[in-house]
Amino acid sequence: SLRLHGQSLRAGLLMDLGRYLEAESLLPGEPHPPPAYRKADLEARTRYHATRLRLLLETGRLGQALEEGERAYRETPHPWLAAALLSAWTLKGRFREDLFQEALRHPDGKGLGVLALAHHRWQRNLDPTPLLKEALRESRRLSNPYVYHLALTSLALYLWPKAPRKAKALSQHLLYQTHRTGFAVHLEVARLLRAQLLLEEGEKVEHLLGFTPSVPLTRAWQAVLAGENPGENLGGYGILGRWVRELWRRRGAGWMRHRR
């Protein structure tokens, strides 16, 4: 069990750093799970499946995440896994109340479940701010940096078209937090959001664009801000990716170029 726990934790840290290929090598799926899986307890197997679901969602494999997640949840029912599966269904456009209620039974699952509900409200053009703030409180209470950064970045993206000054202040806070904690993709999103907001004010942003993106989402956004053709679709990166893509759809990618 300890070995599988360690493997899952290391894979999660690698994803935080944007190193998805290395993370995936630690998280093989069926029919060839790692040898330590068969001897592990429920908590270790749950962490493994939840971490693998995160990998699939953040690399744009939603269909596979739903298929594997449903199978794993049938075999290993657990509130934490319910929260991870709820995130996948929410990205699919369906909010599973049964999974949400189950997720609330686990401390870490609650934060992720509330975050999924916030995203669902936003998809329905409702204000997700109170739920995002609740997710932030839960993540601080449990020292869960993954949910904390996800909720804070989601809040900044929500405020971007509605309250640019607040979004700008949050983007600066995110830059500091993510640089300090090493959450690479969240740092990239913070840099790009800040560049976006400064660009709209007519300021130069080249200093914020000088990095190598970790995922297709940030690679495409960086290219657009640099006045180039993104050259690829915006798949992947879970809730944050969906948030950015929907904002682009509502306002148009061209809107980001013509303000340069």
pLDDT at 234 over 50: yes
Residue 108 is predicted with a pLDDT of: 82
- Contact criterion met (CB below 8 Å) for 149 and 178: yes
d(CA 73, CA 79): 9
**Reported confidence tier of residue 85, pLDDT bands at 50, 70, 90:** very high
Burial class (CB in 10 A: 0-12, 13-18, 19+), 246: middle
**By C-alpha distance, which of 32, 35, 74, 80 is closest to 53?**
80
pLDDT at 230 over 80: no
**Reported confidence tier of residue 220, pLDDT bands at 50, 70, 90:** confident
Token pair recorded at residue 242:
């969906």
pLDDT at 255 over 90: no
Residue 219 is predicted with a pLDDT of: 85
Residue 218 is predicted with a pLDDT of: 86
Q: Which residue reads 């990166």 in tokens?
A: 237
The alpha carbon dihedral of 116, 55, 208, 174 has a sign of positive
pLDDT at 129 over 60: yes
- For a pLDDT cut of 90, what percent of the chain falls above it? 48
- Name the helix (H) or strand (E) containing 50: helix 42-58
Q: Over the stretch 17-72, which tens digit does the pLDDT of each residue have?
A: 889 999 999 999 876 677 888 888 999 999 999 999 999 998 889 999 999 999 99
Q: How many helices (H) and strands (E) does the chain have?
A: 15, 0
d(CA 224, CA 226): 5
pTM of the model: 0.86
The residue-averaged pLDDT of 132-149 equals 90
**By C-alpha distance, which of 189, 130, 200 is closest to 165?**
200
Q: Which residue reads 């914020």 in tokens?
A: 208
- Contact criterion met (CB below 8 Å) for 123 and 93: yes
> What's the mean pLDDT when you consider all of the chain?
87
